[in-house]
Chain A
Amino acid sequence: GQSLEQPSEVTAVEGAIVQINCTYQTSGFYGLSWYQQHDGGAPTFLSYNALDGLEETGRFSSFLSRSDSYGYLLLQELQMKDSASYFCAVMMNSGGYQKVTFGTGTKLQVIP
């Protein structure tokens, strides 16, 4: 089977940097995605890492270490609008199909 672990809640100050970690156990691993979901909204795709290293998209960066089965999402220059839930999701080969399994989510609260 597969499992993902991420913290349930994180609080950070506006303007600061926050890192949300994700560890996973799965076979047939392809890559790690990150999604953002505001309360009452739909999840929206943020980033994807298939190879080791850091991917940067504006204020958001995502990192993957395949050897450590670990990744993180880094949010810089935090804004109040970044308050949301963040999900990591592993893409894997399962039964001949590419599938995605989501983590349980990290609720980020940005405070003034």
Chain B
Amino acid sequence: DVKVTQSSRYLVKRTGEKVFLECVQDMDHENMFWYRQDPGLGLRLIYFSYDVKMKEKGDIPEGYSVSREKKERFSLILESASTNQTSMYLCASSLPGTGVFEQYFGPGTRLTVT
């Protein structure tokens, strides 16, 4: 059974803290993605990676960075958390190339920055 897991379901951090969100997939997928989801704004792409050690900016990369040291793991880093980064963060994976049309999502991490 296809599985994408995220390290935390809920997370509360303080402004200025460095925050790590971890995502692991067991499907041997090349592609991995990080999105944030906010009411009325849908899913917005933060960063994506199509191979180990490869990363590309999505539509809203400001204030975030990522790391992909192993194929199965894709980490999202908030260098200095701010209140406007309070959101639901969703990780996804897919097969390569045009396989991106079918993405498998993790359960999400609801991050609150106070």
Residues of A within 8 A of B (CB): 8, 30-31, 33, 41-45, 48, 50, 87, 89, 91, 95, 97-105
Contacts and interface: CB of A to CB of B under 8 A. Distances in A.
Interface SS of chain A: helix, strand, loop or mixed? strand
Contacts of A95: 56
B90 A100 contact: no
Interface string B54-66: 0010110000000
Interface of B: 35, 40-45, 48, 50, 56, 58-59, 90, 92, 97-98, 100-108
Nearest to A46: B102
B7 to A, nearest CB: 15
Instruction: Please indicate which of the listed interface residues B45, B56, B102 has the most CB atoms of chain A within 10 Å of its own CB.
Output: B102
Given A43-B105, A45-B103, A104-B41, A98 B48 contact: no
A87 B101 CA distance: 13
A86 B26 CA distance: 26
Contacts of A8: 40
A30 B40 contact: no
A29 to B, nearest CB: 12
